[in-house]
Structure 1
Amino acid sequence: MTPHLSEQRSDVRGQGTASASIEAAARREVRGQRSEVRGQQSASGNQTPSSVLRPPSIRVALLTGGGDKPYALGMAAALTSVGIHVDFVGSDDLSVPELLANPRLNFLNLRGDQREDASTKAKVLRVLKYYARLIGYAAKAKPKLFHILWNNKFQLFDCSLLMLYYKLLSKRVVFTAHNVNAGKRDQNDSWLNRISLKVQYSLCDHVFVHTDGMKSEMTSEFRIPATKVSVIPFGINNTVPNTSLSSAEAKRQLGIGNDDKVLLFFGNIAAYKGLEYLIAAFSELLTKDRNYRLLVVGKSKGPESYWNQIRRGITSSEIADSVIAKIEYVPDEQTELYFKAADVLILPYAYVFQSGVLFLGYSFGLPAIAADVGSLKEEIVEGETGFVFKPRDSSDLARKIHNYFNSELFRNLESRRAEIKAYANERYSWDKVAAVTTSVYSRLLNSRI
C-alpha cells in the first residue's frame, strides 16, 4: 500500500466517526440524549456503534420513495445491525432475500411494481395507489419516527401536505437531503420549488446531508438552524454484485482490447453532469492516441435535447467508433461489467455537491478523475484514488486523463484496486452512518418524554 493512502486510512480509523465534521456532529447530537446514553456515547472512544447504542425500544419507518436502491438497502442493514427495528416502505425491486430475512425489519411493499415499460395509465394508477397506501399506513404506524430517504413523485404534495399530515399524527420526521436543491443543480429552479423545500426542511425535526458544503447551503439559503442539520457519510455501495469477473474478461465481453485505455461515464445523463466536457476531452485525446475507449452508460434524465446534442457530437465526429453507449437504466446485475472493464471513472460534473457514482466506483476499487466541484476534491486522494481537474475545462481534463495513464496509480492498477476498496470501506462505512443516525433518533424520541 502506498504511504499516502495508508496514512489516509490510518486517519480514518483514528477518527472513529469518518471525519472531523462527522465526529463533531455525533458529539452534538449525543448531548441531547438521556444521561445513560450520553455516558455510553462519550465513553465509547473507538467502540463500534453496536456497542455504543442498542436501544431495543426504537422503531423507525424508513420511507425509501423509490430512490437509490443500494443506499436504501445499506441504511436498512446499518440500522438493524445496531438494534433499531425498521418498518421498510419499499417496492418490488427492493424485495431482496437478505432484507426479507432480517428479523428486525418489517418489509412493507407499498409501492409495488415499478416497471419502466408500464403504460402511462398504469404508472398514474400505481402512484395514486401508493399515496393512498402510504397515508393509510401512516395513520396506523407503530413507529413514532419517520425517516424519509427520498421524496416521492409529487414534490409539492410531499414537501407540504404530506409533511403536515405526518406532523398532525405527532410523528417525528427526519429527512436525508441527498441534494439540498436539485432544481438549482438541474437548472430548473423556481420560487415555488424553493418555497416547497423551505416548508419541508422547516417541518423536519432533523435533516441529514452528506457534506459540509451542503450543510452551509441548508443553513444559509433555507435558514435552517445548524443544530437541526447533521453531516453523515454517503455509505459505501455494498449491495451491487461484485463477482470474480476479471477486468480482462469484462473488456472481452464488451469487445474492448486488453491494451485499450478505457474511460467510464456512468449514471443519469443530465446537463449538470457535464458530459459534453468529457466528449471534448476524449476527442482531443484521440488525436494523439487511438487506443482510448469511452463507455457512456446510463439513462437520459431531463430534457432529451441535452442527450440528443451529445449524441450528435459523438456520431458526427471521428470518435464514434471509439465510444460504446448504453443509454438506458442498467440493473445492479449488469453494473459490475462496466466498472470492471473500465480503467478509470470520469466525473466531469459542472455542478454537484457529492456523487454516489464515485462511491460506487470505489466499491470496485476504480480510480476516479473528477471536476473540482462540491466536495469531490475532498473525497479523492490525489494520485492515490484519482485526480481532480478544473471544472468545465475539457483541455485540463484531457491532460489529467493523459497523466493518469502514465502514473504509478495506473501502472499498478490491479493492486491499487484492492487498496482503494479497503480505504473506501473504512472511510464510508455504514457503521459510521448508523452511529450518527441512531444518536439523532434517540435524542428526538427521548425529548418527547
Structure 2
Amino acid sequence: MRSEPLRISILNAGGQADYLFGYISGLAQFSNLIIEVVDGERTVGKFDQFANVIHHNLRGPEHTSTDSIATKGIRLLKFYFKLICYPIQTKSRIFHIQWMNKFLWFDRTVLLLWYKICGKELYYTAHNINDRARDGSDTWLNKWSLRFLYRNLRGVFVHTQDMKTELLELCPIDPERVKVIPHGINNSMTPSELSSSEARNYFGFSEEHKLVLFFGQIGRYKGLDILIEAFAALHPDNPDMRLVILGKSKGIDYLNLIEEMIAKYGLEELVYKDFSYVDSDVVDKAFIAADCVVMPYRKIYQSGVIFLALRYGLPVIATKVGVFTEMIEEGENGLLVEEGSVANIASALTQYFNIELYRNLANRRTMIAQDSNQKYSWLVIGKRYLEIFNAD
C-alpha cells in the first residue's frame, strides 16, 4: 500500500488551457493525489481553488510584440534549462505530457529520453495523431520523431477509437498501451445570465436574425471558406441569416482568402468577424447569441469547440470527421454533413432552421447542456486516468 500520495506532473507546454483546467478538475477530486502543473504565465492562478495542485511557471512571462529576437531567444533557452532541471527536482514519478514545446523533434526525442533517464513513467495525450499530415505539411523527420515518441511511452491516450486505429497504423505498438479516453466537457467557462437579445446586441444583430457561429482557430482544414460560400448562396432566399466569425488565423494567406471572399460576395454588413484573440466575455456572448455553431472541417481528430458548444447547449452542424461522428446525435444536438461541400453545408443549414431542434431551441439548449455535462463529466474521466496511473 502506498504510504505517500501519488504525485503526477502534467506538462502542458502552453497548450489548451480549457482542456487543462477540465483535466485538473477531474484529478483534483482525489485527496491522495498531488498534481504539479508545468506550464506558463497564462495558467498562473487558474488552479488556486484546488488544494492539491501546484503550478510551476517555467515558461516565464508571455512574449510581447515589442520583444526582440534576442530577448525571445534568451527566454526560450532559460525555459529549456528549467525544463531539463525539473525532472531532477520533482518527486513526481509520473509525467503526463499534454502538448510539446517549441522544438518538436527535440521534445519528442532528446527531452523524452532525458525524462526516462531520470526514472519518470511517461504518458502522452495525442490530441492530434499527426497534425502535420492533417495540415498537408508532413515530412519524414516529423513521422520519424512521432514514431520515436510513441514507441518510448508507457502509455498513450487518445480521444476516439478512430484515433487509436490511425496511431497504430502510423506506429505499430502494443495496442494495450493506447487507451481511449474521451475529451471532457469545457467546464472552464460558466455561461452567464445574459439573454440572447443582450448578447446579440454586442454583435449588432437582433432576435429576428438567424445567427450562425464559426468559432476557433482558423485554418484551411477547418473549412471556413466552405461556410462562407454556403452562407452567400443561402442569403438571397434567407435575408434574415447572419454570421459571426471569431478566431485567430493560423496563416495570413488563408486569412486573406477569407477576407476576399467576404468582400467578393458583398457580405460585409451580414458578417461580424474578429480574427484576434477574443476575451472570454465575448466568447460567452457569442455562444449565448448564436442559434447554432457550424464546423465544416475537412479533417479533425478532436475539437474543443464542440465541447464548449455543448456546455452552452448550442446545437452543432458538422462534417462526418473525427470525434463529431461519435458526439452528434442527428436532430437531437445537431446535424451531421456527409462531406464538407458548399451544397451539403447549405442544405444542412436550411434543414436546421426548419426542424424541431431549432423551433424549440430554448428548451432544447437546456436539455443538451444537462445531458452533455453528465456524459462528458471530468469527474468520471479523472477517475479513469487515475485508475490507469495506479494500475501501472
Equivalent residue, structure 2, for 1:219: 168
Spell out, residue by residue over 1:345-381, the C-alpha distance to the aligned partner (whole angstroms, 9 max, x if none): 0000001122110111111110000011123122101
1:115 Cα shift?
4.4
Q: Name the amino acid aligned to 1:234.
A: H
1:233 aligned partner: 182
2:218 to 242, 261, 269: 269
Between 106-115 and 190-199, report the one with greater CA deviation.
106-115
SS at match of 2:237: coil
Q: Secondary structure of the equivalent of 1:173?
A: strand
Counterpart Cα distance in 1 of 2:84 and 2:310: 38
1:328 maps to 276
- Of the three residues 12, 36, 39, the one matched with 1:87 is 36
- Which residues of 2 match residues 170-319 of structure 1 at below 5 A? 170-301=119-250, 303-319=251-267
User: Partner of 2:97 in structure 1?
Assistant: 148
| Alpha-carbon contact 2:95-2:120 (below 8 Å) kept | yes
Q: Does 1:111 align with 2:53?
A: no
Q: Does 1:75 align with 2:23?
A: yes
Distance (whole Å) between structure 2 residues aligned to residue 337 and residue 390 of structure 1 = 30
Q: Are the aligned partners of 1:270 and 1:306 in contact in 2 as well (CA < 8 Å)?
A: yes
Whole-Å separation in 1 of the counterparts to 2:341 and 2:262 = 18
Q: Secondary structure at the match of 1:350?
A: coil
CA contact (8 A) 1:235 1:428 kept: yes
Using the size of structure 1 for normalisation, the TM-score is 0.84
Relative to structure 1, the CA distance from residue 130 to residue 367 in structure 2 (aligned partners, 3 Å threshold; closer, same or farther) is same
* SS state at 1:138 partner: helix
Aligned pairs, number: 390
What are the ranges of 5 or more consecutive residues in structure 1 without an aligned counterpart? 1-35, 37-53, 445-449
What letter corresponds to residue 317 of structure 2 in structure 1? I
Say if 1:240 and 1:333, in contact at 8 Å, map to a contact too.
no
Q: Which of the residues 80, 84, 98 maps onto 1:135?
A: 84
Q: Where do residues 431-442 of structure 1 align in structure 2 (5 Å cutoff)?
A: 431-442=379-390
Q: 1:101: how far off?
A: 4.0
What's the Cα RMSD here? 1.6
Cα 1:418–1:115 change in 2 (3 A) is farther
Letter in 2 for 1:109: N
* Residue in 1 that maps onto 2:329: 381
Letter in 2 for 1:264: L
Q: Which residue of 1 aligns with 2:11?
A: 63
Amino acid at match of 1:260: H
Q: CA offset at residue 69 of structure 1?
A: 0.5
Kindly indicate whether residue 308 of structure 2 is the aligned counterpart of residue 360 of structure 1.
yes
Measured in 1, the distance between the counterparts of 2:41 and 2:101 equals 16
- In structure 2, runs of 5+ residues without a counterpart are none
1:128 CA displacement: 2.1
- Aligned partners of 1:235 and 1:429 also within 8 Å: yes
Q: How many angstroms does 1:225 deviate by?
A: 1.6
For residue 358 of structure 2, the aligned residue among 410, 416, 422 is: 410
CA distance in structure 1 between the partners assigned to 2:184 and 2:63 by the alignment: 26
- Could you state the TM-score of these two structures normalised by the residue count of structure 2? 0.96
| Partner amino acid, structure 1, of 2:185 | I
Deviation, structure 1 residue 56: 5.6
Q: Is the 8 A contact 2:182 2:376 kept in 1?
A: yes
Query: Does the 8 Å contact 1:240/1:335 carry over to 2?
Result: no
Give, as a single letter, the amino acid of the residue that structure 1 aligns with 2:309: G
Contact 2:25 2:379 in 1 (8 A): no
Q: 1:78 to 1:55 in 2, by over 3 A?
A: farther
Aligned position for 1:33: none
